[in-house]
């Protein structure tokens, strides 16, 4: 294996251990609460162990917030989604977590099947998700979805208020599109609290957002926060423009990037999320990984073979079928890639209770079958579709072993996979990140090979260029990419500083991203 490359200096360099301090300094004397749909620990029936098990759902945010919560000892309010969750709570549906060394309180909130169908699979994932990913034709709106969404948001707010009780001064951090209304339900009863929200998916432009019959309520809910964060300045602009246009009494201050409504000011900022860079890098560098990485290369790209990798949930926003079309075009135009380049697509099914996702699953399977049937020869298969969820270590091995990582999102708030690949590219000169220009990460990262997922022919040309790129150019691109990679701790640190300014009565400073935007 070639020499290990050093990672470019991170832009800000907040260490995980600094966050506790940053939070306490930014929001002094306040209790800290996180509110999200997903919980950080889930209890389930473990058949093999014949007993109740506990697991931490996969996901970067949970992994990053959990240690912070342990350090500050706050409260995390979330839906108790595990089939054995009810058996493990004490008074007030609370329990101390992590189970092995309790450091903070998890407050579980219960949703019945109808709630889940209407609030989660219904309004959140069949209406807001497609709308925010610019696919209004895929939305499915039902009045009952909305009424349950309102009801569940109110119940989240009630749980938050119960946790706070008569206590003064708390800082409450809401996560994502499942909880757009909860902030207003909290603020209307406790205007003394400070509230922040992070929206993890794109925020669409006005022409699309006004499709939502309840657009004013959604905006009003979010504007009850002191600060709302999006991945990109573009999404923040869309949000402010929607507020200006759809709310009669909202006043947008474009210079300071805030919205005033009913005497309350909400700052709107761009904070591009990231990953725990060190954790992925260490997993890739683990000496025990060497033999596994060698085996992966031996299996998928023996001798002078080339290995491409993709990691996505099976979701129409990720451009998976379009990716297979581009790969098909690649093998068609470039015969030298036949028998030589193998693409491994790790694709975990998600939201399969929704028809659109079920169909997509089938469509993807068919597309992979057909490309393999068309080009496969002599034991070589162009595309391997792995549908099992892999451990994070195993993912890191794929990322390190790959010559190319191909992210083809049609729309994506950020895309963490692109950043995970970079963190694991520890060999010199490194591989190439082929990245859709419509993933938020493309806005922030410098050095990726950008492609248009709607143009499979051009994407195929791009892929070929990436696969045949001279070592010097790969090295140069990887240096720039590593130099532009920040960590999830930078992300949190910047949010807490901005939020702290507002909670202290000052305007939020513009974020780094607010200043460097390329798409405005």
What are the residues binding ligand GDG (CB under 6 A)?
58, 60, 200-201, 273, 311, 313, 346, 348, 389-392, 395, 412-417, 420
Residue 486 to residue 508: CA distance in whole angstroms: 21
* Identity of the residue, 339 or 349, whose beta carbon is nearer to ligand GDG in the bound complex: 349
Rounded to a whole number of angstroms, the minimum distance from the CB of residue 197 to ligand GDG is: 13
Q: Which residue has the tokens 């470039």?
A: 334
Other beta carbons within 10 Å of 177: 22
For the bound state, the minimum distance from the C-beta of residue 108 to ligand GDG, rounded and expressed in Å, comes to: 22
Q: Which is nearer to ligand GDG, 280 or 331 (CB)?
A: 280
Residue (420 or 497) nearer to ligand GDG, CB: 420
DSSP 3-state of 33: strand
- What is the CA 162 to chain-centroid distance, rounded? 29
Beta carbon nearer to ligand GDG, 193 or 347: 347
Closest approach, Cβ 190 to ligand GDG, in A, equals 27
Q: Peptide bond before 429: cis, by omega within 30 degrees of 0?
A: yes
Q: Residue 253: what are its φ and ψ, rounded to 5°? A: -100, 100
- Name the β-bridge partners of 253: 258
**DSSP assigned state of 4:** B
Angle of helix 289-300 versus helix 392-401 axis, rounded to 10: 60
Report the residue number, 370 or 391, with the smaller CB distance to ligand GDG.
391
Q: Shortest gap between Cβ of 272 and ligand GDG (angstroms)?
A: 9
413 vs 429 by CB, closer to ligand GDG: 413
Give whichever of 193 and 396 is closer to ligand GDG, judged by the CB atom: 396
Q: Are 199 and 131 in contact (CB under 8 A)?
A: no
Task: Kindly state the smallest distance separating residue 11's Cβ from ligand GDG, in Å.
Answer: 18
Q: What whole-number distance in Å separates Cα of residue 237 and Cα of residue 230?
A: 10
Q: Which residue has the tokens 């708390």?
A: 170
Q: Smallest gap, in angstroms, from Cβ of residue 114 to ligand GDG?
A: 25
Closest C-alpha among 390, 393, 426 to residue 312 = 390
In the complex, the smallest distance separating the C-beta of residue 390 from ligand GDG, rounded to whole angstroms, is 4
Query: In the block, which residue shows the tokens 């029936």?
Result: 45
């Amino acid at each position: 294996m070639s020499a290990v490359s050093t990672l470019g200096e991170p832009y800000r360099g907040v260490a995980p251990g600094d966050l506790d301090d940053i939070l306490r300094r930014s929001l002094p004397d306040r209790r800290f609460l996180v509110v999200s749909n997903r919980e950080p620990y889930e209890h389930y029936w473990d058949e093999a162990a014949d007993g109740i098990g506990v697991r931490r759902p996969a996901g970067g945010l949970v992994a990053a917030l959990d240690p912070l919560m342990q350090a500050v000892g706050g409260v995390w309010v979330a839906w108790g989604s595990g089939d054995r969750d009810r058996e493990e709570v004490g008074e007030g549906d609370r329990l101390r977590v992590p189970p092995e060394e309790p450091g903070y309180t998890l407050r579980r909130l219960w949703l019945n099947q109808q709630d889940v169908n209407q609030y989660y699979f219904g309004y959140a994932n069949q209406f807001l998700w497609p709308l925010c990913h610019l696919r209004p034709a895929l939305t499915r709106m039902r009045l009952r979805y909305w009424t349950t969404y309102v009801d569940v948001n109110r119940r989240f707010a009630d749980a938050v208020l119960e946790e706070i009780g008569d206590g003064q001064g708390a800082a409450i951090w809401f996560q994502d599109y499942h909880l757009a209304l909860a902030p207003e339900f909290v603020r209307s009863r406790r205007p003394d609290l400070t509230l922040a929200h992070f929206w993890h998916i794109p925020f669409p432009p006005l022409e699309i957002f006004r499709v939502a019959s309840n657009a004013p309520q959604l905006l009003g809910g979010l504007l009850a926060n002191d600060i709302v964060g999006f991945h990109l300045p573009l999404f923040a602009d869309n949000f402010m423009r929607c507020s200006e246009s759809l709310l009669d009494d909202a006043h947008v201050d474009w210079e300071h990037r805030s919205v005033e409504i009913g005497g309350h000011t909400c700052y709107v900022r761009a904070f591009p999320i990231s990953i725990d860079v060190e954790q992925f890098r260490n997993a890739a560098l683990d000496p025990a990984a060497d033999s596994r990485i060698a085996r992966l290369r031996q299996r998928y790209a023996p001798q002078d073979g080339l290995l491409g990798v993709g990691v996505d949930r099976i979701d129409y926003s990720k451009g998976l079928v379009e990716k297979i079309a581009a790969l098909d075009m690649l093998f068609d135009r470039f015969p030298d890639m036949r028998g030589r380049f193998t693409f491994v697509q790790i694709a975990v099914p998600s939201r399969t209770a929704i028809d659109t996702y079920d169909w997509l699953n089938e469509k993807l399977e068919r597309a992979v079958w057909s490309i393999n049937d068309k080009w496969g020869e002599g034991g070589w298969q162009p595309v391997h579709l792995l549908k099992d969820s892999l451990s994070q270590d195993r993912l890191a091995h794929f990322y390190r072993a790959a010559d190319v990582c191909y992210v083809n999102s049609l729309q994506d708030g950020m895309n963490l996979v692109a950043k995970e690949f970079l963190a694991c590219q520890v060999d010199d000169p490194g591989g190439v990140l082929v990245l859709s220009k419509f993933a938020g990460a493309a806005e922030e990262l410098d050095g990726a090979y950008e492609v248009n997922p709607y143009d499979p022919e051009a994407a195929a040309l791009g892929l070929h260029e990436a696969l045949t790129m001279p070592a010097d150019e790969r090295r140069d691109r990887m240096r720039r990419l590593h130099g532009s990679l920040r960590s999830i701790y930078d992300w949190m640190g910047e949010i807490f500083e901005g939020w702290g300014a507002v909670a202290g009565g000052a305007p939020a400073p513009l974020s780094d991203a607010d200043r460097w935007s390329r798409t405005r």
